[in-house]
Amino acid sequence: MRALVTGGGGFLGRYIVEQLQARGDQVRIFARGSYPELEQSGVEVHQGDLRDAAAVNSAVQGMDAVFHVAAVPGIWGPWSKYYEINTLGTRHVIAACLAQRVPRLVYTSSPSVVYDGHAHLNADESLPYPASYLCYYPHSKAIAEQEVLTANGQQGLLTVSLRPHLIWGPRDNHLIPRLVQRAQAGRLVRIGDGSNLISMSYVENAAAAHLQAHDALTTTQACAGQAYFINEPEPVRLWDWVNEILVLGNLPPVRRALPATAAWGLGLMCEAVYKTLGRESEPPMTRFLASQLSQSHTYSVARAQRDFGYAPQIDYAEAMRRLRPLVKTLTGDKKESDPDALKRPGR
């Protein structure tokens, strides 16, 4: 198979690239940067921007499948940035797939596209899109997801959307580094009472889900035109998991706490100040961040298991062992962490 991975040099995208290569597929990536190490491994690299429709069309040409992973994440910034890259960029990918007669498109979405401001417990895909959003990232991704699913069946194109929740693992260049940095600076504060449950996606399992969904498009097609939550079947307590990561780097656990209502109020104030000043840098707190850190967000993967056999291959204990070198590198710690502390956080 000839497969294009947009954002193939990024965190999740590179794991998808590696898993495709491991099974013998020919891989091309579309990314803004250059990746000589990927080229040396046999990957064809197309440099470009999702906002450039012609560049996207060129990258898609000759492909049997497209994995559209590239996006701009974040909880702050102008609407134009998120809309142009996440929404219009996806529109360019869809148009290119249709123009080039690509038969299969797998889109990387997010559970935040259906986040309505309330806690979610074992929620499934019946959750509707909300009427409004607390930040621009999920809004731009929700529009894109709906357009991907609407494109299913057009000119022979089959599409599926995956919503991995809280992707983590080795080579993470966003979540884990920020967590460690804040802990080392003494700026890590628990939001809420610490009892909130979350679903999370170990990166290699999330990547495998993309291949599993793609392969189902070529066989049963049961997942065509559908969206799926992707995460480990068992949730964990968020702040127990955070403390376990800190243990890996021999850092102290989070001891300071802020009530959820206070964090929400602080977020509202920060948003108002930043908007007034026209600042594009991320505020220390927003309403979206306060709710994500204090509420439970867990999702059922029963539908993904049923329709395309989603089954995580890396269990929690092994995933934490694989994460340890990254945390130790970030902290500069060379001591061995306590193996007895590497237990699955309570439910």
Running DSSP on this structure, what letter comes out for residue 193? S
Q: How far is CA 189 from CA 13, 174, 290, in A?
A: 31, 18, 11
CA 140 – CA 162 distance, rounded (Å): 15
Q: Write the DSSP assignment of 306-320 as a string of letters.
A: HHH----SS-HHHHH
Q: Residue 123: which residues within 8 A CB-CB, separation 6 or more?
A: 114, 229, 298, 299, 300
Q: Is residue 299 within 8 Å of 112, Cβ to Cβ?
A: no
Q: Write the DSSP assignment of 35-64 as a string of letters.
A: -HHHHHTT-EEEE--TT-HHHHHHHHTT-S
For 202, counting Cβ atoms within 10 Å of its Cβ (0-12 exposed, 13-18 middle, 19+ buried), the class is buried
Active-site annotation holds for 137 = yes
Please report which residue ranges of 64-135 form alpha helices under DSSP H.
Answer: 79-82, 89-99
For 55, counting Cβ atoms within 10 Å of its Cβ (0-12 exposed, 13-18 middle, 19+ buried), the class is middle
Which position among 15, 136, 137, 310 bears the catalytic label? Answer: 137
Q: Is residue 135 within 8 Å of 75, Cβ to Cβ?
A: yes
Closest CA to 222 of 303, 154, 313: 303
CA 208 from centre of chain = 13
CA 290 – CA 265 distance, rounded (Å): 9
Residues marked as catalytic: 137
